[in-house]
Chains A and B, each alone.
Chain A
């Protein structure tokens, strides 16, 4: 409550000062002061900064080798290695699924996903795994799989943590 009263006082003083300043047409005229262009410039500046920092969020499509070398998180595009074993045992751990994936360079690596095994994963045509290396283990935070179900191309996204 005390805090709120303080806010109230401070804000009132500040607002009064601001209004007095803005309200004084002489001040504006004298300086040739135009607010709109300045505000737009500020917005544009902020916008550009946001755009630049947004473009830093962009990731890249990568291979296991590149991800391992860079030590960063990236998206690996590949296919499920169907001749290798898949591990999922709900009884032991419902949030652990392991499979082998062949990346675009043909390298086969095991992928760990902390989520249940997606339905019809065996049938997937393409897998995009987003993740990074922990030691020698590629841990995916999400996988996107493309499935040719009998008649429709369906895609399924699985995230380990939402």
Chain B
């Protein structure tokens, strides 16, 4: 291909971007080297300054990269692949952040951004630990920068994927032979599924969570590296608590997003991507508890090291699973492959190797305590609890990693030369929700019980002999009250098996004992309540999970309609609702009231009414689920649920199905072509009986009453006003089949009576005979004065006067128009009277007119001129030779198009889940605050 001089490209931002990527890369390497020197030679102060300057320039470079990428996206420079892929002309600015981190490169940048911010905090606060922690943080950051480097080695191995690539370099397309291709391309825009505020707030929180896991990892690695195994245990604690809080919040937000905006019908589905964001958090909790033990007793330092390293490795592993495309057939989450699989594997391998090496080489220097923990001590049970947490994480990871095991089997097969190993491949459990719940139930129950017991105990079983009485008393009281509480809850929560009874008792005991702990053991001091809030919140969350999950009730089941149709199987969770027709389902009268289009969103109004046996309304509310169309308004892009929230329950509603015509415009023609239309000619006023229906053509009118008609300027619209009566039920319906001429094209707009499954349309080819062009008609002049009556052929015409209030359907007023309508009343031989209002107007100094049309008479009337001096109106009249005949086409057995398929689910006590989780996270942040203040 010869060189082409492209027109209009902005190449400077991209070059600057590449420059800053390179700068970030080099400075982070310098930062590693300088901080390392500082650790090895603490006496030499100059290395620290150099390291800080390097990190500072690195930070500025990362900000610059992000700034430039934002600039490219906001300016819609589609010559850049990243902007082309994630932005479009019509993307609202509020989604520019979402678009930024929709792509992998952007999300890596987000991750690096948080590392830079956290690194800054470390530089300013970590003092003695700064050099070590920053060395490791820089190493992690180096790996991340390499992910967006976009450097090729030996043409085949690419390191990283740059966000500053030009579109024409990433794909081969004939359009790039055109030097002026830019005006011809439009961005792809943001996936409509992601166009909501959750996409704006969830990723930054989750990535701050991921980034914050790195800091405790760096502390642990520094402790090992410097062989200072105990001093780091204290300064790391606020970081760990911050991380558990933020990462927990990120995971929770993911659940809230799924619940609020996706069609899951729940906040947690044990999807691989959800699991792998949860697992690092659980392991970090285990590390946190190991850290507590180590600080207070000197025990379990090694375990703490292992858990901290593991939590970081799991973050990287989670990144690998969700971004490498390996989950393929198992996950509902949308992630595109980036070709970085081996780089991500290397990422894990590098840090796993570093961790294992340091642990092995420092093994001997890690202090161990010879004495055995006492069973009455807090550390004993805390350790057991940490082990259970770790085991829970292991179990989730094991099931979620099945695709990885399959890959490993393949690798093994190819190394051993055994050929295809596909037969050994496994798939994820058939019902992952049941699978994980069944096992995690035990971990949750044990954690709830053990955390409560351990909290009452003291480190080192201090003064147990005098304490044991108090301990026993509090445990037993809590247990008794907890049992009572569990009993009361069991009246409300449906418990399907004995395992859940145990979990409920454990959770109730957890809630009560933590309340007791906070009242009696913390001196009512808020900051000392941190652990009580965290553990009590967890127990409350368990109750919320059981209430909302086990008591979840589908409202949208129409038992009457489905009776006998589905044999043996469940009736299904979706109900068929006809517009305006109340349906009774599970205690509620549900009505699809209306829908309205606003921009790209069609909002549905669904009314729920609950009545008692005497007919009094007990409860009434309305929900507004909606659907989002694509940009052309031709297809449904996604459906969004809407939830009615009460304090004690939620009602979740979701549009799970629509008539095909409303899902996709292209279906309208498809369905119409399947119908069997029969043609009937009608004179105005004529009545006919057609297959059991009494049909009357009331009149032929210019304009239409068809509700589907969306007026545009310069439309020519003609319609029949038809009344149809069902001879049996004496029900009467009005339909308005319509023909529209718009921009020289002819459209036929059918009208439908859903209750009779009838559809009616006008035969398109009849337009010319019904509404001929002016050239094909003979207009006769007629001059009249106001108040005059004349005979014109067999019609009696009176000019009643004029009207300055213009109502001509084709007229659109413009500034400076002078417009007037003549009012004519016309009587035919049957003495039937019609009104015609021809329009005369002056626009930009030229006289113009718009004719009036009386369809029933086939009469066209123009007001050509007004003579103001003689007060004469110069009219031109033309009339078709024959009585007009309207060709109406009828189709029977037409499928309805006025319905929705609705899913409505009742989640009782879901607020207990949100409240419990938030209390737990508040406890963690409170713990962090407590430790920061103590310093």
Name A residues whose Cβ lies closer than 8 Å to a Cβ of B.
3-4, 7-8, 11-12, 15-16, 19, 22-23, 34-36, 39-40, 43, 47, 50-51, 54-55, 57-61, 73-75, 77, 88-96, 114-117, 119, 126, 128, 130, 139, 141, 144, 149-157, 160-162
Asked whether, in the complex, the Cβ of B573 is within 8 Å of the Cβ of A162, the reply is yes
Let me know if B850 is at the binding interface, CB within 8 A. no
Asked whether, in the complex, the Cβ of B899 is within 8 Å of the Cβ of A90, the reply is yes
Asked whether, in the complex, the Cβ of B334 is within 8 Å of the Cβ of A19, the reply is no
Contact of B384 among A39, A88, A151 (CB under 8 A): A39
Asked whether, in the complex, the Cβ of A23 is within 8 Å of the Cβ of B468, the reply is yes
CB distance from B588 to the nearest CB of A (A): 17
Chain B residues in 8 Å Cβ range of A119: 636, 638-639, 663
Asked whether, in the complex, the Cβ of B566 is within 8 Å of the Cβ of A60, the reply is no
Residue from B191, B265, B656 having most chain A Cβ neighbours under 10 A: B656
Return the chain B residue nearest A23 by Cβ: B468
Name B residues whose Cβ lies closer than 8 Å to a Cβ of A.
85, 188-189, 191, 193, 264-266, 329-334, 336, 372-373, 375-376, 380, 383-384, 387-388, 391, 394-395, 398-399, 402, 425-431, 435, 439, 442, 464-465, 468, 472, 475-476, 479-480, 483-484, 487, 552, 562, 565-566, 569-576, 636, 638-639, 656-657, 659, 663, 895-896, 899, 901, 905
Asked whether, in the complex, the Cβ of B425 is within 8 Å of the Cβ of A54, the reply is no
In the bound complex, CA of A65 to CA of B571 (Å): 28
Asked whether, in the complex, the Cβ of B657 is within 8 Å of the Cβ of A155, the reply is no
Chain B residues in 8 Å Cβ range of A130: 430
Nearest 10 CB-CB pairs, A to B? A95-B572, A116-B657, A57-B429, A151-B188, A157-B332, A58-B426, A94-B901, A94-B576, A59-B427, A94-B574
Asked whether, in the complex, the Cβ of A96 is within 8 Å of the Cβ of B332, the reply is no
Residue from B193, B373, B476, B636 having most chain A Cβ neighbours under 10 A: B476
Asked whether, in the complex, the Cβ of A36 is within 8 Å of the Cβ of B476, the reply is no
Asked whether, in the complex, the Cβ of B427 is within 8 Å of the Cβ of A58, the reply is yes
CB distance from A21 to the nearest CB of B (A): 10
In the bound complex, CA of A54 to CA of B332 (Å): 22
CB distance from B90 to the nearest CB of A (A): 15
Asked whether, in the complex, the Cβ of A58 is within 8 Å of the Cβ of B566, the reply is no
In the bound complex, CA of A54 to CA of B425 (Å): 16
Given A22-B375, A95-B566, are A90 and B402 also a contact pair (CB < 8 Å)?
A: no
Given A54-B395, A119-B636, are A161 and B483 also a contact pair (CB < 8 Å)?
A: no
Asked whether, in the complex, the Cβ of A91 is within 8 Å of the Cβ of B895, the reply is yes
CB distance from B25 to the nearest CB of A (A): 30
In the bound complex, CA of A162 to CA of B570 (Å): 11
CB distance from B726 to the nearest CB of A (A): 19
Asked whether, in the complex, the Cβ of A95 is within 8 Å of the Cβ of B573, the reply is yes
A-B contact count (CB 8 A): 174
CB distance from B343 to the nearest CB of A (A): 21
Given A60-B425, A93-B565, are A152 and B334 also a contact pair (CB < 8 Å)?
A: yes
Asked whether, in the complex, the Cβ of B472 is within 8 Å of the Cβ of A19, the reply is yes
Asked whether, in the complex, the Cβ of B387 is within 8 Å of the Cβ of A154, the reply is no
Asked whether, in the complex, the Cβ of A8 is within 8 Å of the Cβ of B573, the reply is no
In the bound complex, CA of A77 to CA of B762 (Å): 48
Return the chain A residue nearest B102 by Cβ: A152
Asked whether, in the complex, the Cβ of A117 is within 8 Å of the Cβ of B334, the reply is no
Asked whether, in the complex, the Cβ of B571 is within 8 Å of the Cβ of A58, the reply is no
Summarize A's interface: helix, strand, loop or mixed. mixed
Given A94-B901, A152-B334, are A116 and B574 also a contact pair (CB < 8 Å)?
A: yes
Residue from A11, A12, A141, A155 having most chain B Cβ neighbours under 10 A: A155
27 interchain pairs, CB-CB under 8 A: A4-B480, A7-B480, A8-B476, A19-B472, A23-B468, A35-B380, A36-B373, A40-B387, A43-B388, A51-B398, A58-B402, A58-B429, A59-B429, A60-B425, A61-B425, A77-B329, A90-B576, A91-B896, A93-B566, A115-B574, A116-B657, A130-B430, A144-B329, A150-B188, A151-B189, A157-B332, A160-B572
Asked whether, in the complex, the Cβ of B657 is within 8 Å of the Cβ of A94, the reply is yes
Asked whether, in the complex, the Cβ of A152 is within 8 Å of the Cβ of B574, the reply is no
CB distance from A162 to the nearest CB of B (A): 5
Return the chain A residue nearest B384 by Cβ: A39
CB distance from B591 to the nearest CB of A (A): 16
CB distance from A122 to the nearest CB of B (A): 9
Asked whether, in the complex, the Cβ of A154 is within 8 Å of the Cβ of B334, the reply is yes
Chain B residues in 8 Å Cβ range of A61: 329, 425, 427
Asked whether, in the complex, the Cβ of B896 is within 8 Å of the Cβ of A51, the reply is no
Known contacts A39-B384, A91-B899, A94-B901, then 12 further A-B pairs from the complex at CB < 8 Å, ordered by chain A residue: A36-B373, A47-B394, A50-B391, A59-B427, A60-B425, A89-B895, A94-B576, A115-B574, A144-B332, A152-B334, A153-B336, A155-B331
Return the chain A residue nearest B481 by Cβ: A4
In the bound complex, CA of A119 to CA of B901 (Å): 12
In the bound complex, CA of A59 to CA of B330 (Å): 12
Chain A residues in 8 Å Cβ range of B395: 47, 50-51, 54
In the bound complex, CA of A75 to CA of B375 (Å): 48
In the bound complex, CA of A97 to CA of B404 (Å): 33
Contact of A43 among B387, B402, B435 (CB under 8 A): B387
In the bound complex, CA of A162 to CA of B266 (Å): 9
Residue from B265, B552, B570 having most chain A Cβ neighbours under 10 A: B570
CB distance from B409 to the nearest CB of A (A): 13
CB distance from A64 to the nearest CB of B (A): 15
Asked whether, in the complex, the Cβ of B391 is within 8 Å of the Cβ of A43, the reply is yes
CB distance from B180 to the nearest CB of A (A): 24
Chain A residues in 8 Å Cβ range of B334: 152-155
Chain B residues in 8 Å Cβ range of A94: 572, 574-576, 656-657, 901
Contact of A73 among B336, B425, B430 (CB under 8 A): B430
Residue from B427, B484, B659 having most chain A Cβ neighbours under 10 A: B427
Contact of A117 among B552, B657, B896 (CB under 8 A): B657
